[in-house]
Structures are given as C-alpha cells and as structure tokens.
Amino acid sequence: MSGLKTLSGGFRGIPGEECDPEILHRAKIQLRELLDQAGIDPAPVYRPGEVCRLLKISPTTLRQLCTLAEHPRVRNPNPRALDSFLVGCHHRIRHTALLDWLVRNQTFQRES
C-alpha cells in the first residue's frame, strides 16, 4: 500500500481515499487530452462552459453533478459529484476537482 496516493475526492472536509498511482496517471493523461481536444488551455479553475465542452455534457448535467457535492458533510458522497465553488451565482470548477472526478469515475463500480 505504500505506492498508493490519497486523493481529496473533491469534497471539503471529507477524508480522501487511496488511489492507485497508475489510475491517477491515466486520469492526468485523459484530462490533458480532453483539454487539447476542446482547445482549452490548462488553468487552475474552469468556467461551466469549458467543463461542459471538456466532458461533453449539458449545462443542466453539470449543475446536477455540482449539486451532488454541495453538502460538505456527506457521509457517502456520490462518485458522480463534481466539487465546485460559486463566484456570485456561477459555478467554478478547480483543475484538481476535475482530476479527482476522473479518478473516481474510472474506479467506480456501478451497481447492477
């Protein structure tokens, strides 16, 4: 277990879970490729329109993902939740939150 990294999971105040470095590396490559394909320069923070283009989702879906992460004391956070913060009434998504989201969604086992 010494090779595992702990990710924040994108949730404020919720301890992170251990992540395989290989999965983290794949997520970093995937995010870099998504940024290149969308023609977006890497930045510490992204606007909703940029994230929608990156993930190929609608603004409504993005708001739903952000809403899933809004309560900081959730015991079993939804893996689909995307951590964000508000500037006025507009969501902003950190680069690290996108990376954490990609890691979680590569390792998440859906219920059948």
In a domain, 97, yes or no: yes
Taking the C-alpha atoms of residue 10 and residue 97, their distance in angstroms, rounded to an integer, is 5
Is 22 within the bounds of a domain?
yes
Other CB atoms within a 10 A radius of the CB of residue 64 amount to: 14
Question: 102: closest CA among 77, 80, 84?
Answer: 80
Residue 108 clears pLDDT 70, i.e. is over it: no
Summary mean pLDDT of the chain:
79
In-domain check, residue 26 = yes
Q: Return the ∠ at Cα 64 (arms to 60 and 67), rounded to 5°.
A: 135
Residue numbers of the domain that contains 60: 5-107
Q: For residue range 33-87, list pLDDT tens digits in order.
A: 999 999 999 999 999 999 999 999 999 999 999 888 876 666 666 778 898 988 9
Structural domain includes residue 112: no
Distance of alpha carbon 92 from alpha carbon 45, whole angstroms: 6
Structure tokens, 75:
């015991």
Least confident interval from 6-15, 26-35, 60-69? 6-15
- Considering its fold, how many domains does the chain have in total? 1
- For residues 31, 77, 80, 24, the Cα torsion angle rounded to the nearest 10 degrees is 20
Task: Identify which of 6, 10, 7, 1 has the alpha carbon closest to the alpha carbon of residue 80.
Answer: 10
% of the chain with per-residue pLDDT over 90: 40
In a domain, 32, yes or no: yes
Q: Is the pLDDT of residue 15 over 80?
A: no
